[in-house]
């Protein structure tokens, strides 16, 4: 179906992003996958062309326009370029709202210019070895001591974890208050006691640095508190709908990309004397996928419109997140099957896309948690 979400400014921005990726990312991505990390220089170059700092006020070097459609353009083009190692969406879509909406004037002046230029790479650390979707199970602690919080604990599966210069850490500041005893602390590179563990060896997203983080008596200045003390859970709940919509944007764009490539493959690949796309089973599989991807695209585009109006609800975002990510895994699996043995070879893009897609129904809240959110919204 024809999309009606974007206007001329967004399409011009899309051309700019696509050209950047073609020039600065696609030719080098295989090398980054082997190294398990994207060079920092790529972030600097992205900042120079305005890909970072979307929605950040112009005074700090940002776009100055709070319009999530620009964020969606970046996500879509990164997927189409097969450059899954770039952590731009985590930076722009997930971390930015905390710094723009909750940071003090002093914090904004300290962090946002580098955030927009690519000099300061960010991450957010929620997940722990014993606490994933259940944020109430967070054990990392922060005890107030004079003009600082003393931070102790461990985080894992942290995107941008190796490159990050600023990590927003979810920590327990009131051990007796459950979900209402969490706070957000900004931990900066070089703080004594802050160490990075392994760059984790994942099934997919090989070029994306995903790390363990360790905090041993890290003295985090009180002025690095993000938002209000003991209000961290509320701050997270306010921002999780945008994070989940961002994942849905990536899921649908990835599905569209691989579906289009598979259709072309089925036109060219022959079996029993004719293109495999001429077989009824192939046509039926692709027809089903094309229909479901179109439906998912329509829902996600509507979600973007509602987000821009401040009307996207927690359960709307949960529906988008679980449905689109499960669909993407289905699309990748069916597309790989249509490629036959070649689909299992890493030299074919469908194999990498299949690997990369699998985590989408896990991070940002598992499918099971998303269904629980939706179920509760029904009064059940």
DSSP string of 306-337, one letter each residue? HHHTT---HHHHHHHHHHHHHHHHHHHHHHHH
Residue pair 103/40 in contact (Cβ under 8 Å)? The answer is: no
Q: In the structure encoding, which two tokens stand for residue 290, read together? A: 């094309």
Q: Which two tokens stand for residue 67?
A: 């319009």
Is 243 an active-site residue? Answer: yes
* Dist CA 105 CA 227 (whole Å): 12
Structure tokens at 378: 């029904």
The C-alpha atoms of residue 31 and residue 44 are separated, in whole angstroms, by 19
* Options 77, 243, 256, 261, the catalytic residue: 243
Q: By C-alpha distance, which of 324, 303, 351 is closest to 256?
A: 324
182-214 per-residue burial string, b: 16 or more CB within 10 A, e: under 16:
bbbbbbbeebeebebeebbeeebbbbbbbbbbb
**Counting Cβ atoms within 10 Å, is residue 119 exposed (0-12), middle (13-18) or buried (19+)?**
middle
Could you tell me the CA-to-CA distances from 52 to 57, 71, 151, 160, 304 in Å, in that order? 12, 9, 29, 14, 19
Catalytic residues: 243
């Amino acid at each position: 179906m024809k999309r009606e979400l974007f206007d001329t400014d967004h399409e011009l921005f899309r051309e700019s992003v696509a050209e950047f990726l073609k020039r600065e990312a696609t030719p080098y991505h295989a090398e980054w996958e082997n190294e398990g990390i994207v060079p920092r220089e790529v972030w600097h170059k992205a900042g120079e062309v305005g890909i970072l700092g979307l929605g950040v006020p112009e005074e700090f070097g940002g776009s100055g326009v709070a319009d999530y459609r620009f964020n969606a353009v970046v996500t879509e083009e990164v997927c189409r370029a097969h450059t899954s190692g770039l952590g731009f969406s985590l930076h722009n879509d997930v971390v930015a709202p905390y710094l723009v909406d909750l940071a003090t004037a002093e914090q904004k002046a300290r962090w946002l210019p580098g955030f927009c230029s690519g000099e300061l790479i960010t991450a957010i650390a929620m997940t722990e070895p014993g606490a994933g979707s259940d944020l109430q199970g967070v054990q990392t602690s922060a005890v107030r001591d004079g003009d600082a919080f003393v931070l102790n604990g461990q985080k894992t599966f942290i995107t941008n974890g190796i490159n990050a210069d600023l990590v927003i850490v979810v920590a327990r500041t009131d051990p007796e208050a459950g979900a209402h005893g969490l706070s957000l602390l900004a931990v900066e590179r070089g703080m004594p006691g802050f160490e990075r563990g392994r760059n984790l060896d994942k099934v997919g997203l090989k070029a994306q640095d995903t790390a363990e983080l360790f905090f041993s008596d890290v003295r985090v200045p009180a002025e690095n508190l993000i938002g209000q003390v003991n209000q961290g859970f509320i701050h997270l709940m306010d921002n999780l709908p945008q994070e989940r919509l961002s994942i849905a944007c990536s899921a649908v764009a990835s599905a569209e990309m691989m579906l289009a490539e598979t259709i072309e493959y089925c036109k060219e690949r022959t079996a029993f004397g004719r293109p495999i796309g001429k077989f009824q089973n192939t046509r039926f599989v692709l027809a089903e996928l094309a229909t479901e991807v179109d439906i998912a695209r329509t829902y996600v585009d509507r979600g973007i419109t509602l987000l821009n109006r401040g009307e996207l609800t927690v359960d709307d975002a949960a529906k988008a997140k679980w449905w689109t990510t499960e669909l993407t895994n289905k699309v990748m699996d069916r597309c790989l099957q249509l490629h036959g043995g070649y689909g299992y070879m890493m030299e074919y893009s469908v194999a990498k896309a299949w690997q990369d897609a699998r985590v989408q129904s896990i991070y940002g809240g598992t499918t099971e948690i998303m269904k629980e959110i939706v179920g509760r919204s029904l009064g059940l």
